[in-house]
Chain A
Amino acid sequence: MSIQVQNLIKLYGDAKAVSDISFEVHSGEILGFLGPNGAGKTTTMRIITCYLSPNAGSIKVEGHDIQTDSLAVRKLVGYLPEQNPLYHDMNVLEYLEYTAQLQGVGKSYIPQRMREMVEACGLGEMKHKDIGQLSKGYRQRVGLAAAMIHDPKVLILDEPTSGLDPNQIVEIRSLIRELGKQKTVILSTHILPEVQATCNRVVIINRGKIVADGPIADLQRSLHGGEKVVLEIEFPDGQSFEMISVQFKTIPAIETVSLIEERDNVMRFSVETSSAIDIRKELFQLCVQKNWGLLELHRAQTSLEDIFRQLTSDVTK
């Protein structure tokens, strides 16, 4: 077990930022930490990295308690805060050297580690520039490089891809995936495709409480029982949505039919079933039978976005 969080509570004044959460992260796992703004993601990460102290509960990182053995924890963890802590009057190499020294990297290893990090984060051209002159994307890379400078066992990244352009995002994600093979990574974000692209597991947190914890596939299955199919059909003239939807309902498994879009004679529907049955064959046969022109037919997965909305909006709960 790499990280163990037990019954963590953090109060800001009277407000509970984090109320009684527990979760575990295994070594070699990339955990996505999701939640709306103000849910307590950053607070939790700050406690794990010893920036803030908890009001109650315990956290162990690789067996070291964050309160009694704080220095050992801080040696093990690489942390990229949400507000990237850079010194704007230093150049990239100076900053990496300084963070390596603070982290206690051996003097003889520092040049080698700096070279590796400059390479891994694509900072080659910028390494002699002052950080104050860099664009947001490059600053983010510098922050990442600094977080990984001591080759930490545990990496905690608070919104690591914010401010990056799409190409950089892809690069950083693949870097994180690569790292996640040997390290434990916790990554917070509210960009949902990012979680799907990089993480093995997600913890969703809302108002300081964990509302879901598990592999993405499991969450998708448990939260949405039925299947959803999207189809686009070209009809002969004079058909209305009501008439067609009655035809669809002849297939017993179908529960709801809704119109997504209509133009000329082409209509786009989404069809939902109550249980997990594949109805694509029946739909196809219906179209053949009625002589409708089937233009498109595919199964829509419940996206993480749907799960996220279901769990974190207070209206549905």
Chain B
Amino acid sequence: MNFQNIKNIYLKELRSFFNSPVAYIVIVVYLTILGWFFVSNLFLNNMSTLRTVFEMTPFLLLFFAPAMTMRSISEEKKSGTLELLFTKPIKEFEIIAGKFLAAWALYFFTLLPTLLYYITITSIGDLDTGAVIGGYLGLMLVGAVFLAISIFGSALTENQVVAFIVSLFIVFALFILDKVLFYLPPTLAVILEYISVDYHFSNIARGVIDTRDIIYYLSMIGFSLYLATSVLQKRRWA
């Protein structure tokens, strides 16, 4: 693996996010929606907590992650620039990794302004800083899983709309898994609970950082990126 190649792809992707309206639209829309939910019942609840940020973000991400990455690979396929990348001395995984990291960085910049909420709340009440750090860590990990899955969705097709819908379907399925456990036999429920993104997130969001949860996230990310890489490889060797 050549990190210079990953860095080149990463920088190019990040630049094209910020050269186009994509980055600004994502940031503005996310903050607007989150801001409304955050403020509307802040004084009603009268609690110094960032719970709204941590509860709403995974839900918003269901739409934002596929939207941020739907262009990623499918556009390269459609415009023929994949032929450029494939005939350069770069491995498929380096392409995928660079694109994934760029999307993750954009997500990081989207979350960054919500630190203002943290500053606001700590100035008017007591906030459990440990839980906040855990919550943000969890958000970064959930985001990484959704983005990695969406990169895979984008690798499947040259049509951005199809990429968006396929990715949305997969992340939505993972998201609702632990909400339908009620209807399932217990043995199956345990397995599905483990696969569910939300189940692991709720642990971290409480400020409990368990290696099992971290391993779950890392393996989900790794597996999705592996699948995306295989899709590209298969195309070349087809």
Residues of chain A touching chain B, judged by Cβ–Cβ distance below 8 Å, are: 46, 49-53, 71-72, 74-75, 77, 79, 81, 83-90, 98-99, 101-104, 146
Contacts and interface: CB of A to CB of B under 8 A. Distances in A.
Nearest to A158: B83
Contacts of B16: 87, 89-90
B90 to A, nearest CB: 6
Interface in B53-83: 79-83
A77 B87 contact: yes
A83 B80 contact: yes
Given A71-B91, A77-B87, A81-B84, 19 more contacts: A46-B83, A51-B83, A51-B87, A52-B238, A53-B237, A74-B87, A74-B88, A83-B80, A83-B83, A84-B80, A85-B80, A86-B81, A87-B81, A89-B19, A89-B20, A90-B16, A103-B88, A103-B89, A104-B89
28 contacts: A46-B83, A49-B87, A50-B86, A51-B83, A51-B87, A53-B236, A53-B237, A71-B89, A71-B91, A74-B87, A74-B88, A74-B89, A77-B87, A79-B87, A81-B84, A85-B80, A85-B81, A85-B83, A86-B79, A87-B79, A87-B81, A89-B19, A98-B12, A99-B84, A101-B8, A102-B85, A102-B88, A146-B84
B5 interface: yes
A81 B88 CA distance: 12
Contacts of B82: 85
What is the size category of the interface that chain B forms with chain A?
20 to 34
A75 B91 CA distance: 12
Contacts of B80: 81, 83-85
Contacts of A79: 87
A99 B81 CA distance: 11
Contacts of A87: 16, 79, 81
Contacts of B4: 101, 104
B237 to A, nearest CB: 5
Nearest to B2: A104
Contacts of A103: 88-89
B79 A85 contact: yes
Contacts of B90: 102
Given A53-B237, A87-B16, A81 B8 contact: no
A48 to B, nearest CB: 10
Contact of A51 (B5, B79, B89, B236): B236
Interface string B4-23: 11001000100010011000
B12, B16, B84, B237, most chain A CB atoms within 10 A: B84
A84 B86 CA distance: 14
Contacts of B83: 46, 51, 81, 83, 85
A140 to B, nearest CB: 14
Interface string B88-99: 111100000000
A273 B24 CA distance: 75
Contacts of A85: 79-84
A165 to B, nearest CB: 23
A75 B86 CA distance: 12
A275 B32 CA distance: 86
Closest 7 CB pairs of A and B: A85-B84, A83-B80, A102-B88, A85-B81, A74-B89, A101-B8, A49-B87
A86 B76 CA distance: 10
Contacts of A81: 80, 83-84, 87
Contact of A102 (B5, B237, B238): B5
A39 B136 CA distance: 57
A277 to B, nearest CB: 51
B86, B87, B238, most chain A CB atoms within 10 A: B87
B87 A50 contact: yes
A98 B14 CA distance: 13
Given A52-B236, A77-B87, A102 B81 contact: no
B160 to A, nearest CB: 15
Contacts of B236: 50-53
Contacts of A72: 89
Contacts of A88: 79
Nearest to A143: B84
